[in-house]
């Protein structure tokens, strides 16, 4: 089927390339596309249509239409007409039940009528409701194009490259190339993007040529992502020249989707680029000079052309394509049948203005030429060549067969929308083009309106009796060209925060989990309770580098903090620590932590592990409003931190400091902050008791993380993870903000009425607390112990007299307490110590009793030891 050498052919006949198609061996030449190679080997049916499973063949042969979508090397929806051939590729047809030639679902085309009209499933499948899951399952299989192979990861990699250009030219036709060359004479930074194969490797002086590559759209801020196959170039350009040319528009007539009905450009490509004789007998229905030339090229290629019609001068009223087994066998022109195996038909050319419209250009209709043209370009944009309407015109694309029971006329081959469907939508009252689009899905398929928007607008205008200008176009939105989602996602990088001690935990075999933006050890062994026991009975150490750490420094540091927190800080002596809670002006508890005063004008603030960034931003924002003379510096990453806790903590620490007296009980009291060198590392040591035993939080320069950790472990400290810490803190009834509290909680309901200093003039959240104090209490956070040895889920329902009455926020089994303990929100009248209530656990209810105060070491003697 190949012709003799053509003057501009792209193939290299000396290099055969083999691949497999549908399980069989197939081949072509270097320079072929997969589509051209298949066509040359006699393949005519390339796909089955979206809804009716009608056979479809090459139509545009330019990468616009959906007709040649196949799965190549497990990547679905590849347009094989523009996909370069490659050795060993595995090419599979898709959307087929059976084979391309005999597709079981083609029956939908025959029975058609009642089952597949527009809006079919919106209307039909809504009742009965219980059937929907089944409907959905079946529809999922029937609808859509291609399948994702979950075992395969597509391209081995996707990269993103951030690019800048002085001038970015989209479209490498004559005008695009001329514009690029002209721009290049005025300086560097000129880039030309073209989607075709012809400019691959082309050299234009002073111009960087990207081809084949597709500009996916124009986003806000002039962002133009360009798909260059495996690499996404994100271009920002000072000036964007759009020279995207014009697109041939299909004629709409009965049988216009039969295999063998093609657009002139597609036919020309097969002959010129790939030296293929496309058919043996062709009928040409031309609406411009280009299409007439194709008739000559066909003859030169040895194709009989029994009939050429110039629709501009000899407008045919009625056209129909007749087919056998889905392939065209004759064209019936005003009632006269002409036998043929190819119908070359177009309605003319419509400017390809979508990119300009995305950028904000207005688009207007020119009735004399039957086309939409871009008008009023936004600043920084230029349009050149056919996209401006130059040399473009279309005839009315709609033709009927005149026969009563003619074949379907497709307005949109992507979504299988016929003229009847559009008429029906209009009759049902979808009286704007935007609504009709959503109902019929015309222009919403893979071609994104390239081949169907004009026809649908003109059909709409004709049926409703208004002008095309009044109908208008639908909003143009990116992407303009199809793109793999993987390319948009970019490289598989999801940066995790790791403490400087992290790899010691991995080496120790810890189970690592995400904790907000951090990777943290859940526990070091199979039994977190062993780690809890070590802390209670001997000595444990946990990596708490993830705690947010903020320095607040300046002459007005006290004023700033006293306004950010409900607490007082002015009365604190340097070297002391206070627990603080941050609330919003709505009264919501946002974060909690400790505040250590290091000097008169310097405070060291810790936040929760997930709160560092948000709290820093919160502090900075308020200070941008108030302007206190104080700086807020986030030192979270600069410092590692560990909590050394357990009855042996002081003894272990005393062996690592220069002078053991520095850590003696009265020299380093509970809630003292002190600078100490530990194992040669300067630390800020905070004596606090989150886990309920004697404990020291050591904060020190991150690079010394592993060194100090190793020394503490060598002193006999057991590493413990997040899960044991959760048990330990629950034994002390210490809350976790965001787990035990939510957006409805406030200081009073969470049991911290002692904390806000309402006598202060102002603090963030004061107004809300005052209102809450006047309001009737709704619920309260309290501790409880279970009557049985079962652990309710977090979020489990509290049941009071058979009705929902609250919820559990935390629950764990505690060896030290000898019971399952937890925290729950209860109605205030049920919060007396010892009050019994029930919790739903696995379809039954289990009794629990309110317990006030800490479950473990209620007096706090152990942590104050």
Partner 1 sequence: MSFLLPCPHCGPRPVDEYACFGEVTTRPAGESPSLRDLTEYVYFRDNVAGVQREWWQHRDGCGEWFLAERDTRTNEVLSISEPEPAPPV
Partner 2 sequence: MTELRFLSPSQCAEGSTASPLRRALDGAPEQVRDLSLQGVLELRGDIARVEAGEGEELVRLSPRRGFLFTPGDPFEAVARVRAAGVLAYDSTGALAGLALEGEQLMRRLTDLELTKLPAAGPFARVSALVLRDEGERFRVYVPQELGHDVALAVLDALAGLELAP
Task: Give residues 621-640 in contact with partner 2 (rule: CB under 8 A).
Answer: 631, 633, 635-639
Task: Give residues 762-801 in contact with partner 1 (rule: CB under 8 A).
Answer: 762, 767-768, 770-771
- Contact residue for partner 1 among 463, 511, 584, 702 (CB under 8 A): 584
The CB-of-763 to partner 2 minimum distance in angstroms stands at 24
- DSSP letter (8 states) at residue 394: B
**Of 147 and 163, CB closest to partner 1:** 163
Identify which range of 214-222, 292-300, 389-397, 741-749 contacts partner 1 by CB under 8 A: 214-222
Task: Give residues 474-493 in contact with partner 2 (rule: CB under 8 A).
Answer: 491, 493
- Contact residue for partner 1 among 97, 135, 219, 670 (CB under 8 A): 219
**Of 45 and 552, CB closest to partner 2:** 552
Query: Is residue 585 close enough to count as binding partner 1 by CB under 8 A?
Result: yes
Cβ atoms of 769 and 756 closer than 8 Å: yes
Cα gap 452→184, rounded to integer Å: 37
Query: Which of partner 1, partner 2, none does 681 bind, CB closer than 5 to 8 A by kind?
Result: partner 2
Query: Which of partner 2, partner 1, none does 157 bind, CB closer than 5 to 8 A by kind?
Result: partner 2
* Neighbouring residues of 415: CB distance < 8 A, sequence distance ≥ 6: 50, 51, 440, 441, 442, 444, 445
Count of residues in contact with partner 1, rule CB under 8 A: 24
| Ranges of H-type helices in 8-114 | 34-40, 107-111
Cβ atoms of 321 and 258 closer than 8 Å: yes
**Of 149 and 159, CB closest to partner 2:** 159
- Contact residue for partner 2 among 551, 736, 773, 790 (CB under 8 A): 551
- Contact residue for partner 1 among 150, 203, 205, 220 (CB under 8 A): 220
Beta bridge partners of 114: none
Cβ atoms of 558 and 570 closer than 8 Å: yes
* Neighbouring residues of 611: CB distance < 8 A, sequence distance ≥ 6: 548, 590, 591, 593, 737
**Of 770 and 815, CB closest to partner 1:** 770
The CB-of-227 to partner 1 minimum distance in angstroms stands at 16
- Of the candidates 643, 782, 670, the one whose C-alpha atom is nearest the C-alpha of residue 725 is 643
Query: Is residue 586 close enough to count as binding partner 1 by CB under 8 A?
Result: yes
Query: Strand 797-800 relative to strand 836-841: parallel, antiparallel, unpaired?
Result: antiparallel
At 392, is the secondary structure helix, strand, or coil?
A: coil
Per the document, the length of the chain is: 865
Count of residues in contact with partner 2, rule CB under 8 A: 51
- Contact residue for partner 1 among 625, 801, 803, 843 (CB under 8 A): 625
**Of 30 and 584, CB closest to partner 1:** 584
The first and second tokens of residue 77, run together, are 């929806």
The first and second tokens of residue 667, run together, are 């020299």
Cβ atoms of 25 and 31 closer than 8 Å: no
**Of 12 and 658, CB closest to partner 2:** 658
Cβ atoms of 694 and 677 closer than 8 Å: no
Identify which range of 429-437, 624-632, 779-787, 798-806 contacts partner 1 by CB under 8 A: 624-632
The CB-of-760 to partner 1 minimum distance in angstroms stands at 12
Task: Give residues 161-190 in contact with partner 2 (rule: CB under 8 A).
Answer: 161-164
CA-angle at 732, arms to 726 and 738, nearest 5°: 50
Cα gap 544→642, rounded to integer Å: 5
Query: Is residue 228 close enough to count as binding partner 1 by CB under 8 A?
Result: no
Cβ atoms of 778 and 750 closer than 8 Å: no
**H/E run at residue 616:** helix 612-626
**What's the half-sphere exposure (Cβ side, CA atoms, 13 Å) at 631?**
7
- Contact residue for partner 1 among 390, 529, 620, 651 (CB under 8 A): 620
Query: Which of partner 1, partner 2, none does 454 bind, CB closer than 5 to 8 A by kind?
Result: none
Query: Phi and psi of 756, rounded to 5°?
Result: -70, 135
The CB-of-497 to partner 2 minimum distance in angstroms stands at 4
The CB-of-235 to partner 1 minimum distance in angstroms stands at 12
- DSSP letter (8 states) at residue 480: S
- Contact residue for partner 1 among 87, 148, 617, 664 (CB under 8 A): 617
Query: Is residue 157 close enough to count as binding partner 2 by CB under 8 A?
Result: yes
Query: Which of partner 2, partner 1, none does 307 bind, CB closer than 5 to 8 A by kind?
Result: none
| Ranges of H-type helices in 13-98 | 34-40
- DSSP letter (8 states) at residue 478: S
- Contact residue for partner 2 among 147, 307, 576, 707 (CB under 8 A): 707
CA quadruple 100, 101, 106, 109: dihedral sign: positive
Q: Residue 466: how many CB atoms within 10 A of its CB?
A: 13
DSSP 144-184: SS----TT--SSS--EEEEEEEEEEEE--SHHHHHHHHHHH
The CB-of-633 to partner 1 minimum distance in angstroms stands at 10
Identify which range of 100-108, 456-464, 700-708, 832-840 contacts partner 2 by CB under 8 A: 700-708
Query: Which of partner 1, partner 2, none does 707 bind, CB closer than 5 to 8 A by kind?
Result: partner 2
* Neighbouring residues of 587: CB distance < 8 A, sequence distance ≥ 6: 746, 747, 765, 768, 769, 771, 772
- Contact residue for partner 2 among 198, 498, 568, 862 (CB under 8 A): 498
Query: Is residue 128 close enough to count as binding partner 1 by CB under 8 A?
Result: no
At 278, is the secondary structure helix, strand, or coil?
A: coil
- Contact residue for partner 2 among 388, 545, 616, 797 (CB under 8 A): 545
Task: Give residues 89-108 in contact with partner 2 (rule: CB under 8 A).
Answer: none
Q: Residue 179: how many CB atoms within 10 A of its CB?
A: 23
Task: Give residues 572-601 in contact with partner 2 (rule: CB under 8 A).
Answer: 598-599
The CB-of-243 to partner 1 minimum distance in angstroms stands at 23
At 102, is the secondary structure helix, strand, or coil?
A: coil
Task: Give residues 660-679 in contact with partner 2 (rule: CB under 8 A).
Answer: 675, 679
- Contact residue for partner 2 among 188, 317, 665, 680 (CB under 8 A): 680
The first and second tokens of residue 505, run together, are 């935990």
The CB-of-233 to partner 2 minimum distance in angstroms stands at 9
- Contact residue for partner 2 among 125, 142, 160, 614 (CB under 8 A): 160
- Contact residue for partner 1 among 159, 289, 621, 828 (CB under 8 A): 621
**Of 85 and 641, CB closest to partner 2:** 641
- DSSP letter (8 states) at residue 254: B
The CB-of-241 to partner 1 minimum distance in angstroms stands at 20
Query: Which of partner 1, partner 2, none does 768 bind, CB closer than 5 to 8 A by kind?
Result: partner 1
Cα gap 655→375, rounded to integer Å: 81
* Neighbouring residues of 209: CB distance < 8 A, sequence distance ≥ 6: 172, 191, 192, 194, 199, 202, 203
Cα–Cα distances in angstroms (integers) from residue 388 to residues 98, 218, 447, 642, 671, in the given order = 46, 17, 21, 67, 75
Cα gap 208→180, rounded to integer Å: 9
- Contact residue for partner 2 among 704, 733, 820, 821 (CB under 8 A): 704
Binding mask 522-561 for partner 1 (x = CB under 8 A): ----------------------------------x--x--
Residues that bind partner 2 (CB under 8 A): 157, 159-164, 234, 491, 493-500, 502-503, 518, 545, 551, 553-554, 598-599, 602, 631, 633, 635-639, 675, 679-684, 699-708
Residues that bind partner 1 (CB under 8 A): 219-221, 223, 556, 559, 584-586, 617, 620-621, 623-628, 761-762, 767-768, 770-771
């Amino acid at each position: 089927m190949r012709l003799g050498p053509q003057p501009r052919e792209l193939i290299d006949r000396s290099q055969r390339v083999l691949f497999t198609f549908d399980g069989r061996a197939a081949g072509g030449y270097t320079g072929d596309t997969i589509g051209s190679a298949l066509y040359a080997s006699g393949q005519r049916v390339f796909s089955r249509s979206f809804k009716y499973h009608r056979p479809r063949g090459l139509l545009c042969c330019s990468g616009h239409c959906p007709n040649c979508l196949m799965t190549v090397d497990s990547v679905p929806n590849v347009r094989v007409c523009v996909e370069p051939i490659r050795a060993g590729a595995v090419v599979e047809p898709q959307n087929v039940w059976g084979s391309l030639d005999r597709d079981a679902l083609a029956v939908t085309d025959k029975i058609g009528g009642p089952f597949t009209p527009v809006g079919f499933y919106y209307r039909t499948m809504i009742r009965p409701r219980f059937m929907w899951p089944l409907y959905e399952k079946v529809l999922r299989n029937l609808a859509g194009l291609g399948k994702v192979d979950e075992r395969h990861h597509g391209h081995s990699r996707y990269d993103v490259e951030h690019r800048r250009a002085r001038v970015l030219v989209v479209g490498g036709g004559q005008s695009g190339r001329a514009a690029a060359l002209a721009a290049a004479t005025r300086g560097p930074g000129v880039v030309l993007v073209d989607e075709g194969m012809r400019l691959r490797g082309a050299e234009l002086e002073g111009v960087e040529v990207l081809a084949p590559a597709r500009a996916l759209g124009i986003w806000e801020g002039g962002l133009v992502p360009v798909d260059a196959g495996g690499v996404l170039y994100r271009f920002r350009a000072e000036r964007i020249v759009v020279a995207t040319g014009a697109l041939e528009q299909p004629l709409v007539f009965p049988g216009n989707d039969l295999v063998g009905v093609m657009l002139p450009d597609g036919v020309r490509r097969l002959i010129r680029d790939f030296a293929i004789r496309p058919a043996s007998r062709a009928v040409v229905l031309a609406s411009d000079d280009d299409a007439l030339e194709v008739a000559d090229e066909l003859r030169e290629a040895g194709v009989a052309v029994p009939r050429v019609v110039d629709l501009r001068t000899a407008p045919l009223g009625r056209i129909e394509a007749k087919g056998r087994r889905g392939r065209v066998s004759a064209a019936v022109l005003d009632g006269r049948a002409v036998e043929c195996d190819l119908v070359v038909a177009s309605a003319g050319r419509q400017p390809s203005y979508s990119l300009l419209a995305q950028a904000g250009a207005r688009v207007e209709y020119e009735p004399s030429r039957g086309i939409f043209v871009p008008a009023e370009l936004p600043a920084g944009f230029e349009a050149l060549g056919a996209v401006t309407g130059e040399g473009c015109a279309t005839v009315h694309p709609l033709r009927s067969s005149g026969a009563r029971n003619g074949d379907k006329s497709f307005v949109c081959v992507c979504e299988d929308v016929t003229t009847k469907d559009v008429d029906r939508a209009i009759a049902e009252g979808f009286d704007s083009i935007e609504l009709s689009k959503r109902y019929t899905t015309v222009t919403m398929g893979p071609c994104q309106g390239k081949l169907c928007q004009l026809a649908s607008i003109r059909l709409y205008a004709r049926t409703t009796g208004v002008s095309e200008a009044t109908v208008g176009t639908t909003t143009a939105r990116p992407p303009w060209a199809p793109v793999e989602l993987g390319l948009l996602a970019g490289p598989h990088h999801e940066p995790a925060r790791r403490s400087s001690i992290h790899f010691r935990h991995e080496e120790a075999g810890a189970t690592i989990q995400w904790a907000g933006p951090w990777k943290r050890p859940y526990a070091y062994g199979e039994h977190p309770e062993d780690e809890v026991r070590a802390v209670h009975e001997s000595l444990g150490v946990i990596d708490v580098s993830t705690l947010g750490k903020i320095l607040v420094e300046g002459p007005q540091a006290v004023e700033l903090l006293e306004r950010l927190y409900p607490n007082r800080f002015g009365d604190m002596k340097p070297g002391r620590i206070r627990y603080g809670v941050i609330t919003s002006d709505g009264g919501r508890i946002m974060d909690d932590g400790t505040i250590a005063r290091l000097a008169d004008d310097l405070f060291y603030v810790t936040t929760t592990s997930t709160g560092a960034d948000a709290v820093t931003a919160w502090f900075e924002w308020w200070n941008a409003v108030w302007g206190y003379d104080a700086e807020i510096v986030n030192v979270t990453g600069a410092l590692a931190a560990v909590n050394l806790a357990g009855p042996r903590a002081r003894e272990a620490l005393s062996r690592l400091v220069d002078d053991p007296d520095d850590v003696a009980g009265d020299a380093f009291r509970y809630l003292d902050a002190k600078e100490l060198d530990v194992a040669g590392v300067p630390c800020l040591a905070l004596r606090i008791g989150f886990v309920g035993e004697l404990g020291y939080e050591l904060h020190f320069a991150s690079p010394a993380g592993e060194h100090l950790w190793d020394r503490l472990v060598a002193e006999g400290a057991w590493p413990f993870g997040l899960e044991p810490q959760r048990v330990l803190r629950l034994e002390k009834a210490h809350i976790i903000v965001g787990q035990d509290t939510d957006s409805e909680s406030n200081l009073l309901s969470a049991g911290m009425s002692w904390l806000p200093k309402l006598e202060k003039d102002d603090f963030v959240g004061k107004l809300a607390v005052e209102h809450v104090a006047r309001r009737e209490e709704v619920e309260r956070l309290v501790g409880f112990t279970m009557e049985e040895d079962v652990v309710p889920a977090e979020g489990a329902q509290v049941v009071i007299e058979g009705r929902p009455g609250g919820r559990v926020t935390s629950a764990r089994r505690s060896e030290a307490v000898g019971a399952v303990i937890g925290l729950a929100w209860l109605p205030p009248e049920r919060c007396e110590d010892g009050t019994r209530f029930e919790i739903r656990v696995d379809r039954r209810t289990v009794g629990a009793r309110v317990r006030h105060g800490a479950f473990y070491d209620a007096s706090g003697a152990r942590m104050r030891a």
